[in-house]
Structure 1
Amino acid sequence: MIFDRLLQVAATAPETSGLRQGEDVLPYPSLARRIERLACGFANRGIGRGDVVALLIPNSPDIFAVAHALFAIGAIAMPLGPTATRAELAALAGKATPSAVVATPASKAAAEVLIADVAPGAALFITTDLAAVETAPVPLPALAADTPALYLFSSGSTGLPKVVPHTHAEILADGARTSGAWKLQPDDVVVNILPPNFAMGFLMGVIDTLSGGATTFYWSDPLPLALSRRKLLEAMVRQRVTLMGAVPAMYDIIAAQAGDFDLSLRIAFSGGAALKRSTFDAVQARFGIALRQAYGSTEAIMVSHNDAADPDATWASVGKPAGDAQVRIAPADTGLGDDVGELLIRSSSLMRGYLGDAAANALAFDDGWFRSGDLASLDEAGRIYIKGRSKLLIEVSGYKIDPIEVEDTLAAHPAVAELAVAGVPDARNGNKLRAYVVRRDEVSEDEIVRFARARLSSQKVPTEVAFLDALPRSSTGKLLRAKLLEL
């Protein structure tokens, strides 16, 4: 299935299309031949249909080659964060025990510990040694559309991560929907700066760009983005990058880089978290391009993309459903207005259910529609506006409080660098609000509370303030709310 799509692209795409990293260029035809040999080599080493293979590989052409080789033999790719802790890796891999692990030399020690912790006897492959694994091509198995191909993990931002399986058909459907929404052509160059254990990073780097016959430019640097952003922008100029996708926090960092850069971007889209107007304005002022929001989830993959003719007027929208994706609003008591409810999703790339979690699946679906947990409204044109998370609503004295609203208000305080708001159990009110604040300048708890009282109704004012050096975040900058109460 997926390998067949790779062969189709390899047979029709120009030699200039393929994968790039640094100054290296890997055209699709030569990639397809190498992947076929690698797939046969994996099969000869005992990896077969239904086997789970953990990947400790950063954003690079290696993630493309290894994933497609596994797809070709019906094995299941399970990307993990190469920088995750031992406990995190064990907790995730323990949910779907791998038969093998593929790692870079830098992650070899972590892979060995992972195998010892949860998968004794699993084979270990190192990316620099994969040439020795490759064997002469033999006929590869015919795979059904519903063959599992990929295990991702839900973010766990409001609970424990769950295994999200996707089939060959679902991944191909996402590639077609995404490349169609982006109107990808073979002369497009898509930069991927997201880690492959992040759904958007994996799919953009492995299937979405390929589906349009375009080129993926993989960017990675050992330094944090704040210290490598100039090099990134210079590389984007050299590579003539036409499309970029990232989370809002990354755009904030990139837009703060001084200097002139003659970028070739025709699309820059933001996903993974709510876009703020200040980020939209900063990108437009800095690079002369309107930042478009996209929407999806690990479970449904890509759902919508804002391609409105007036991106300034619709900046807060994540656009209309793309391709065969459908959405509807389920009524919910949100306190945000009658037009706001929970966003339900249906599409050809929607997972069929979490792996081995009947209880979670019973809650996640409503007559075939996936309950996203996002609160949203639709305008008269059918554009989606995300208003918050239903799971984030905090009940205080009978009022349902959206912590995002409180956070946006307190973020305007000049001494607040960043913050998050959570509910803390309280015998009298059910919950009370606590603000976790990272200070830019000296400020007291009383000053924060007084600032909130002047701008919010009484039930929305935090009664406690905790000062932190940093908020807990994932590798992509996503706030890990479940960890706040552990601090």
Structure 2
Amino acid sequence: MGVGLSSGTGRPGRHLPRRDDPIGSLTGGLCERLRLRPGRGGTIRAEGRRVDALAFAATVERAAAGLSQRGLCLGDVVGVLAPVSPDRFLATYTVMAVGGRALPLSPASDPDVQCAALAETDARLLMVSADLAPAALELAERSRVRQVISFGDALGTTPFEELLRPSPDGTGYSPSRGLFDNGILGYEETGAGLLTTLYPHSDLMARFVALRERLELTAEDVVAVDERGEEATRVALVALALWTGACVMTGSRCPTPEGRRVTVRCFPEPERVAAPGLPV
């Protein structure tokens, strides 16, 4: 399959910096911000799972350092195979935080298309949810992927927890790494073959800023995202919610926090559907 590479939507992303703007990647500086503002951090949730935003952001930084120690280079492509969930966002933000390009694969895509996307982007690493590990190992056999990292125990994969081990030489995470060639790769089938599109950090930041101005999120908001919609917009919206201290619900089966209602939805376009703080 042939690949055409474009540069996202072409948005310049030139905005005056703010003290609470991401540095280098969409989560660069988030962990420090949440540490300085205890009690204002939100959560990211899935069915049967709840992760505090501070713990999530700290894990991104530790895992990014782990990937760097394992030789991930700036601009390297890493596949992500997981449903819309905390794991999918954790993997995507981690790759961008270390200066790489995340290639989120839709679990609903045909395996041949998934394999073609991995091969054409020269991905050598695949991060996967534990339930999709067998499919990921099969994709690795058919592509150039040499290592599969799994969120959970799965035979034939490397546990994600190994990325969180302390560095032997004491080096840690630096947000400046994300200032290089990071971003998200999208893909679609066309009459001419497989088309991949790069959404660089400048494009993602433009979306982040536009959503911040339009939605005016607060810590009282509940943001719902699922498999529908555009990946780059979804990733920017979730990052904005984490920076704001809002609650993020991922997937179509995630229950609403008790006594609260969804106030912002991502599909078909991010929009406010209710005022924050209103009783159910």
TM bin, normalised by shorter chain, reads: 0.7 to 0.9
Shift of residue 162 of structure 1? Answer: 1.8
Q: 1:163 aligns with which of 186, 191, 196?
A: 196
Q: 1:203 to 1:157 in 2, by over 3 A?
A: farther
Q: 1:63 aligns with which of 67, 84, 88?
A: 88
**What is aligned with 2:261?**
240
The reply to whether residue 127 of structure 1 matches residue 182 of structure 2 is no
**What is aligned with 2:70?**
45
Q: Return the letter of the residue paired with 1:57.
A: A
Q: Return the letter of the residue paired with 1:175.
A: F
Shift of residue 109 of structure 1? Answer: 1.9
Shift of residue 26 of structure 1? Answer: 2.0
Structure 2 matches for 1:3-42, cutoff 5 A?
3-7=27-31, 9-10=33-34, 11-12=36-37, 14-22=39-47, 24-42=49-67
Deviations 1:318-356 (A, max 9, x none): xxxxxxxxxxxxxxxxxxxxxxxxxxxxxxxxxxxxxxx
- Does the residue aligned with 1:240 lie in a helix, a strand or coil? coil
**What is aligned with 2:5?**
none
Instruction: Give the percent of matched residue pairs that are identical in Structure 1 and Structure 2.
Output: 18
Assess if the C-alpha contact under 8 Å between 2:60 and 2:90 holds in 1: yes
**Over aligned residue pairs, what C-alpha RMSD do you find?**
2.9
**What is aligned with 1:302?**
none
| Mapped partners of 1:44, 1:69: distance in 2 | 13
Structure 2 matches for 1:476-487, cutoff 5 A?
none
Q: 1:218 aligns with which of 240, 250, 253?
A: 250
| Mapped partners of 1:159, 1:147: distance in 2 | 27
| Mapped partners of 1:79, 1:212: distance in 2 | 24
Structure 1 gaps of 5+ residues are 222-231, 249-263, 268-487
Assess if the C-alpha contact under 8 Å between 2:249 and 2:256 holds in 1: no
Deviations 1:185-224 (A, max 9, x none): 122110112258744434433x242344422111244xxx
Q: Return the letter of the residue paired with 1:183.
A: E
Assess if the C-alpha contact under 8 Å between 2:84 and 2:250 holds in 1: yes
**What is aligned with 1:266?**
274
Structure 2 gaps of 5+ residues are 1-23, 153-158, 276-280
TM-score (norm 2): 0.73
Structure 2 matches for 1:175-190, cutoff 5 A?
175-190=208-223
Assess if the C-alpha contact under 8 Å between 1:19 and 1:215 holds in 2: yes
Deviations 1:69-111 (A, max 9, x none): 2122112111011132221112222220112001112221221
**What is aligned with 2:234?**
201
Q: 1:192 aligns with which of 213, 225, 237?
A: 225
Assess if the C-alpha contact under 8 Å between 2:42 and 2:242 holds in 1: no
Assess if the C-alpha contact under 8 Å between 1:9 and 1:28 holds in 2: no
Assess if the C-alpha contact under 8 Å between 2:204 and 2:233 holds in 1: no
Q: Return the letter of the residue paired with 1:216.
A: V
Assess if the C-alpha contact under 8 Å between 2:62 and 2:173 holds in 1: no
Q: Return the letter of the residue paired with 1:123.
A: Q
Assess if the C-alpha contact under 8 Å between 2:205 and 2:236 holds in 1: no
- Does the residue aligned with 1:246 lie in a helix, a strand or coil? coil
Q: 1:198 to 1:172 in 2, by over 3 A?
A: closer
Q: 1:149 to 1:245 in 2, by over 3 A?
A: closer
Shift of residue 24 of structure 1? Answer: 3.6
**What is aligned with 2:19?**
none
Assess if the C-alpha contact under 8 Å between 1:60 and 1:220 holds in 2: no
TM-score (norm 1): 0.44
Q: Return the letter of the residue paired with 2:242.
A: L
Shift of residue 56 of structure 1? Answer: 0.3
Shift of residue 238 of structure 1? Answer: 5.0
The reply to whether residue 78 of structure 1 matches residue 86 of structure 2 is no
Assess if the C-alpha contact under 8 Å between 1:59 and 1:218 holds in 2: yes
Q: Return the letter of the residue paired with 1:66.
A: A
Q: Return the letter of the residue paired with 1:126.
A: S
Shift of residue 53 of structure 1? Answer: 0.5
- Does the residue aligned with 1:35 lie in a helix, a strand or coil? helix
**What is aligned with 1:471?**
none
Assess if the C-alpha contact under 8 Å between 1:58 and 1:195 holds in 2: no
Between structure 1 and structure 2, the one with the greater Rg is: 1
**What is aligned with 1:480?**
none
Q: Return the letter of the residue paired with 2:64.
A: A
Q: Return the letter of the residue paired with 2:249.
A: F
Shift of residue 33 of structure 1? Answer: 1.9
Q: Return the letter of the residue paired with 2:53.
A: Y
| Mapped partners of 2:103, 2:180: distance in 1 | 17
Which structure is richer in relative contact order (CA contacts within 8 A, separation 6 or more)? 2
| Mapped partners of 2:243, 2:40: distance in 1 | 16
The reply to whether residue 147 of structure 1 matches residue 177 of structure 2 is no
Q: Return the letter of the residue paired with 2:274.
A: R
Assess if the C-alpha contact under 8 Å between 1:105 and 1:126 holds in 2: yes
| Mapped partners of 2:233, 2:190: distance in 1 | 16
